[in-house]
Amino acid sequence: MNTEKLVLYLCLCAINNTSPSEDIMKDADIKEIYRYGITHKVIALVCYALEKIMQVPVPFVEAKTKAIRKDMLMDAEFQKISAFMEDKGIFYMPLKGALLKELYPKAGMRQMSDVDIFYDSDFREEVKEYMLSLSYECTACTDSQDAYKRQPVYNFEFHHLLFSQVESKALYEYYKDIESRIVKDKENSFRYDMTEEDFYIYLIAHEYKHFSQFGTGIRSLLDVIVFLRRYEETLDMDYICSELEKLNISEFEEKQRELCKKLDSDNFYRNLSVNEEELLSCFLCGGVYGDYRTGIVNRMAGKTGEKNREVTKGKKIKYIFNRIFPPIEYYRAAYPFFYKHRLLIPFCVVYRVFLALFKRNDFVKSELDALKKN
């Protein structure tokens, strides 16, 4: 079993609270397992599993301890922020990771980069003022979200949209009016949540966005596994399939769900079909949110599912042109000032070229490598 599958196997052992097979682990490269676990942000899960069969190296234990500590600190901070939202009468809804982590058996198992909150953006300035009063730094303000960070571990993103038009027009249209898909929380006056069905649809849509653009990692599979364990028997699958059809991602969901069911069983590494192995490799080869070069190739090739996804010379030229001169909706999401003052967009083009050459040359190198190799 290769390192990628070994890490997935260890993650499954952790959420199943079972001991890894010593036969499977006897030739494992612990350093490679650590590197891969860090990349996919599943190192705490890996540590939980390894602790059952060995004296775990210090870096694993330190990473797990940090994950548990961050989980506790972020929970306490979210309670403080939600109390502020309640006090000011601001509608809010925690998203994805903040809820999924509760489905994992132990603290820190579902490592999080940040806490995402969808809220009433009419109160954008009030929220910003409050976050700054807590010594947060506003690291990004776009048409779709505001991001705030504070040392040592705090990271919150306040979303005005669930999906921007730049990310996906279909998902933007579907989620721009979210009110019909949410229900009021019983214990809070201004907190809302999605139903289990709509949460699952959003989970799949979010994963598909990453999968079709930059690829995604094994944590996406684990999220689906723990969610289906808890809710599959009570989910209205007819409604889910109907909504996924509208988004043209029902086939992706079905294949991923079947793969997750096989992974969530004994000897998963012996039971997969050729197509399932291929799909699994797409998850195993990305990082937590995929790989930048994968995203470049996907952008050049066209949408996942198109019949002709060959990277032709014409597609390369079109890709380069769109990178230098992106569509107007790109500015709306990434550079709202220039979107409002469109006569100044040529200056933004020069600014972006400057950033690419002097501030983000690693990304430029990745793009050039992808263009040469495909």
Domain boundaries, the chain: 1-56, 58-194, 195-290, 296-373
Strand ranges (E), the chain: 92-94, 115-119, 137-141, 145-150, 154-159, 182-184, 192-194
Exposure string of 320-350, with b = 16+ CB inside 10 Å and e = fewer, is: eeeeeebeebbbbbbbeebbeeeeeeeebee
Q: Based on the number of CB atoms within 10 Å of its own CB, is 360 exposed (0-12), middle (13-18) or buried (19 or more)?
A: middle
Q: CATH classification of 58-194 is 3.30.460, yes or no?
A: yes
Quickly state the pLDDT bin for 367 (edges 50, 70, 90): low
Among 268, 277, 371, 365, which Cα is nearest to 319's? 371
Give residues with Cβ within 8 angstroms of 288, minimum separation 6.
39, 40, 41, 113, 216, 217, 219
112 touches 218 (CB < 8 A): no
134 touches 123 (CB < 8 A): no
> What is the per-residue pLDDT for 317?
77
What's the pLDDT tens digit per position in 342-352?
A: 888 888 888 87
> What is the per-residue pLDDT for 296?
47
46 touches 259 (CB < 8 A): no
Per-residue pLDDT at 234 exceeds 50? yes
- Top pLDDT among 269 and 169 is at 169
Q: Per DSSP, what are the bridge partners of residue 92?
A: 119, 191
Average the pLDDT over each of 21-30, 81-90, 161-170, 353-362 and give the range with the smallest value.
353-362
> What is the per-residue pLDDT for 277?
87
Highest mean pLDDT among 33-37, 142-146, 289-293: 33-37
- Mean of pLDDT values over 4-16: 94
- pTM of the prediction? 0.79
Q: What distance separates the 2 farthest-apart alpha carbons in the chain?
A: 66
H helix count then E strand count, the chain: 20, 7
- Top pLDDT among 113 and 65 is at 65
96 touches 116 (CB < 8 A): yes
**Mean pLDDT for the chain?**
85
Per-residue pLDDT at 246 exceeds 50? yes
119 touches 91 (CB < 8 A): yes
Per-residue pLDDT at 241 exceeds 70? yes
Quickly state the pLDDT bin for 96 (edges 50, 70, 90): confident
